[in-house]
């Protein structure tokens, strides 16, 4: 199951990966990256890698917390003690599958060791000796010194476990050298800290999940196969730059960002890579730049950019078209505007003496009409106000009704005890007071709720029966002054 973590994901992988580079906390970069990815998705469909898929490959994310899985293992233990072996085994298999997705940085090995030991015992009790042996071996391969508690396991189970420990100890070990760009980084195998880099591991033949980390960076998850993989080189500066959540973003710049992006693309077996970044001074809207790389050669195919004033979904769509196909302009100024027009400047001419001419008065064309519109009619605004006020009043009535809950409860108790009110009987004075308060509360609350329903109904009627056209204001300036016309529906 572990060996399929990367291999299965690569069998039908999409072709194109898009990732941001730079300040991953920048709202401008993240927003632009999301919009640009959306434009690419419309053109590439399923050929575009989704961020969640990439993150699950390089750093699998659990669906439940480690504490939840630990409680599940304890539930399986209780079921086993109660003789419900089938249910206990199912819970343990689910827990172990979830632990394979648990972040290694969280060191889930303690829970995994408990689950494997219990799985071995349950399988042995059910007569599944091969499954029991496999569970115990998985435990001892990572932690050869693990000991079973004499309080939890029977002497026969402990004896079998100890015999298997000796067998695993006699098996041939292979050396795996683990090195990182940052010496002293922790090496974790299946969630268990094995030492720090540079580290020499001695492991029996099997597949293992491996990760290297420092206090602020974590490498990609690797599935190594022993004895085939004898050298593990980890570039923490490159792999640790990837953000832990969508959208995909690398906290690196220039050549470091390019190297990290190419490594990520190779890890997920993408064919094409598009790296997006912002260029410009901090605090000033910059250019959004997209560079496309061919993974096979590691070379840039083309690069396009969007000028800040034209930033938006139409501009990102034009940028995506250029980066993918080469059609269009490399610099997107405004996708809707015509291309640049060349203006020829005439050569200077000799001055010519002016002759007196008649002054001809040329009428000046009036400036164009300017129109401004509002977005909502007066009737529509009134309907919204009425419905809002009605809703608020209705809520106030409900709140008033809730304040009489204690009196209604007390009245029900008195009625149940057959203490009916009698004006001539002083003993029933409490019931009469309670009834008076209940009646007053009902009158007040129902009145408020009725008013709220009435206002809301009036607002709804206004909304349905009066048009919602906008009010138009037309201004027509002239040389002598101007005129303003207001039209629309109210």
**Cα angle value 327/328/329 (rounded, 5°):** 130
277, 257 Cβ separation under 8 angstroms: yes
User: How far apart are alpha carbons 33 and 36 in whole angstroms?
Assistant: 5
Q: How confident is the model over 222-234, as pLDDT tens digits?
A: 999 999 999 999 9
Q: What is the pLDDT along the chain (490 residues), one digit of tens a residue?
A: 444 444 444 445 578 999 999 999 888 889 889 999 999 999 998 899 999 899 888 888 788 888 999 999 999 999 999 999 999 999 999 999 888 877 766 778 999 999 999 999 999 999 999 999 999 999 999 999 999 988 888 898 999 999 999 999 999 999 999 999 989 999 999 889 999 999 999 999 999 999 999 888 889 999 999 999 999 999 998 898 998 888 999 999 889 899 999 999 998 999 999 999 988 766 566 788 999 999 988 899 999 998 765 666 778 889 999 999 999 888 876 444 433 333 333 444 455 444 444 434 434 444 444 444 444 567 777 777 788 887 888 888 788 878 878 877 877 776 676 655 555 555 566 677 778 887 888 888 888 888 878 888 887 877 777 665 554 444 444 444 544 444 444 4
Which string of DSSP letters, residue by residue, matches 427-485? GGHHHHHHHHHHHHHHHHHHHHHHHHHHHHHHHHHHHHHS--PPPEEEEEEETTEEEEE
H or E element, residue 231: strand 231-234
Peptide bond into 247 cis (omega under 30): yes
Size of the chain in residues? 490
pTM, entire model:
0.58
Give residue 388's pLDDT.
83
Q: What is the C-alpha to C-alpha distance for residues 17 and 260, in angstroms, rounded to an integer? A: 13
User: What pLDDT shows up at residue 411?
Assistant: 73
Cα 152 → chain centroid: 42
For 236, phi and psi rounded to 5 degrees? -65, -35
Q: Which pLDDT score, from 0 to 100, does residue 451 have?
A: 85
Q: Are the C-beta atoms of residues 248 and 242 closer than 8 Å to each other?
A: yes
The reply to whether omega before 427 is within 30° of 0 (cis) is no
**pLDDT tens digit sequence for 150-162:** 888 889 899 999 9
Q: At what angle do helices 66-81 and 85-99 cross, to 10 degrees?
A: 160
Q: Beta strands 272-279 and 249-250: pairing type?
A: unpaired
């Amino acid at each position: 199951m572990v060996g399929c973590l990367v291999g299965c994901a690569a069998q039908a992988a999409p072709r194109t990966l898009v990732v941001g580079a730079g300040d991953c906390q920048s709202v401008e970069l993240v927003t632009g990256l999301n919009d640009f990815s959306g434009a690419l998705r419309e053109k590439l469909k399923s050929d575009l890698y989704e961020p969640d898929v990439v993150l699950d490959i390089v750093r699998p994310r659990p669906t439940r917390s480690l504490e939840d899985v630990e409680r599940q293992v304890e539930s399986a233990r209780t079921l086993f003690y109660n003789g419900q072996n089938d249910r206990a085994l199912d819970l343990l298999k689910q827990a172990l599958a979830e632990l394979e997705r648990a972040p290694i940085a969280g060191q889930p090995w303690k829970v995994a060791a408990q689950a494997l030991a219990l799985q071995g015992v349950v399988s042995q009790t059910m007569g599944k000796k091969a499954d029991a042996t496999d569970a115990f071996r998985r435990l001892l391969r990572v932690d050869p010194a693990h000991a079973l508690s004499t309080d939890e396991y029977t002497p026969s189970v402990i004896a079998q476990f100890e015999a298997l420990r000796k067998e695993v100890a006699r098996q041939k070990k292979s050396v795996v050298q683990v090195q990182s760009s940052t010496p002293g980084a922790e090496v974790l195998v299946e969630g268990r800290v094995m030492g720090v880099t540079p580290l020499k591991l001695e492991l029996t033949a099997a597949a293992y999940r491996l990760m290297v980390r420092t206090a602020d960076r974590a490498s990609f998850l690797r599935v190594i196969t022993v004895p085939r993989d004898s050298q593990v080189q980890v570039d923490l500066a490159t792999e640790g730059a990837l953000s832990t959540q969508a959208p995909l973003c690398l906290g690196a710049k220039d050549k470091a960002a390019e190297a990290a992006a190419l490594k990520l693309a190779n890890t997920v077996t993408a064919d094409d890579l598009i790296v997006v970044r912002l260029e410009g001074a901090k605090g000033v809207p910059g250019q959004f730049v997209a560079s496309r790389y061919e993974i096979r050669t590691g070379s840039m195919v083309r690069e396009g950019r969007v000028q800040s004033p034209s930033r938006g979904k139409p501009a990102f769509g034009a940028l995506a078209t250029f980066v993918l196909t080469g059609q269009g302009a490399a610099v997107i100024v405004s996708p809707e505007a015509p291309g640049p027009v060349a203006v020829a400047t005439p050569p200077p001419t000799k001055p010519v003496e002016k002759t007196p001419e008649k002054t001809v008065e040329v009428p000046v064309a009036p400036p164009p009409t300017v129109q401004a519109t509002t977005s909502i009619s007066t009737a529509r605004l009134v309907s919204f106000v009425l419905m809002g006020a009605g809703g608020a009043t209705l809520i106030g009535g409900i709140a008033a009704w809730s304040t009489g809950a204690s009196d209604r409860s007390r009245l029900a108790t008195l009625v149940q005890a057959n203490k009916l009110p009698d004006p001539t009987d002083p003993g029933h004075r409490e019931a009469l007071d309670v009834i008076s308060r209940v009646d007053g509360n009902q009158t007040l609350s129902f009145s408020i709720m009725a008013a709220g329903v009435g206002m809301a109904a009036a607002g709804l009627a206004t909304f349905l029966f009066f048009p919602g056209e906008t009010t138009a204001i037309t201004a027509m300036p002239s040389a002598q002054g101007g005129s303003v016309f207001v039209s629309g529906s109210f």
